[in-house]
Amino acid sequence: MGSSGLMSRNNGQRLGITEPISLGGPTEYDLIKTRELEKYLQDAGLYESQEEAVSREEVLGRLDQIVKIWVKTISRAKGLNDQLVQEANAKIFTFGSYRLGVHGPGADIDTLCVGPRHASREDDFFGELHRILSEMPEVTELHPVPDAHVPVMKFKFNGVSIDLLYAKLSLWVIPEDLDVSQDSILQNADDQTVRSLNGCRVTDQILRLVPNIQNFRTTLRCMRLWAKRRGVYSNVSGFLGGINWALLVARICQLYPNALPNMLVSRFFRVYTQWRWPNPVMLCANEEGSLGLSVWDPRRNPKDRFHLMPIITPAYPCMNSSYNVSSSTLRIMSEEFQRGSEICEV
């Protein structure tokens, strides 16, 4: 690669499983158009106020304190020695649109509590932690959903909506600088924990795999607004949800690493209008992983061959995030991509 290739490399590695389509950088016109796009998104009410941003930060800080107290309380109750009670730790991570930096005002925050091996999901998380939260005046609308595919505790804290998941690691002590993206964290974890960790691991991978986070965010905000307005933003109805749009946009960012959002939006439509489904959209090569969890692989798993619009998550164990898409919803989305592409051409 010549010197022009350097810009598309993140600390020396190419992002994505193919070469970029273009390394072209922005013109003066692109800068102007991107500013117009940002102003449009601003006027559409997509950005929260500074006050709201600060109050979310405060709530997350408080939540982190609460789970730290919780884990010490249960460690003491289980008769762990003073040393272990002192070292006992839990940590709050965020994922989803808040972690990606594309959430709107009033959106709920997807959070994950990571706890040690002796803090159980049933008794300690849905028992003791639920009790602690239920007795706090700041906490309202507390709804535990322990039987969900991904068990969750939903509540509002000082008016901020929180979805709290739980991951029980096989560690006795959770280090404060824990990195959830390392595969070793999944060792000896039960299925519910693997599923609960997945959101965080995927979100963090996306942010690592895009060449420019700011450009990714603006483009994704635009595509989310477009998809909602065109009625194709919904996982349950067989269209695409937040994570799917994030992965599609991230792939465009890899293909045009030096492009600004105005350019990325039009390239989004052009690329996906021409995309030959069911070729999968992937941000990185699928790792096998040493833990033997099943990963998306149509060569090996016959059921994966039936997926019509595979959009593969970039963290082990990688899966198809868009298995709800049907032939009719795919047709509608293809028509919408075509329509978007034609508007951008004009």
Mark the binding-site residues for Mg(2+), compressed into ranges: 108, 110, 163
DSSP code for 172: S
Among 258, 337, 345, 269, residue whose Cα is nearest residue 31: 258
Question: Max alpha carbon distance in the chain (Å)?
Answer: 70
Among 256, 265, 272, 159, residue whose Cα is nearest residue 212: 256
Residue positions forming the annotated binding site for ATP: 95-97, 108-110, 163, 233
How many residues in the chain?
A: 346
190-216 per-residue burial string, b: 16 or more CB within 10 A, e: under 16: eebbbbbbbbbbbbbbbeebbbbeebb
Phi, psi of 128 (to 5 degrees): -65, -50
Question: Is the four-CA dihedral 283, 286, 289, 293 of positive or negative sign?
Answer: positive
Residue positions forming the annotated binding site: 95-97, 108-110, 163, 233
Q: How far is CA 102 from the centre of its chain?
A: 10
Decide: residue 66, CB within 10 A, 0-12 exposed, 13-18 middle, 19+ buried. Answer: buried
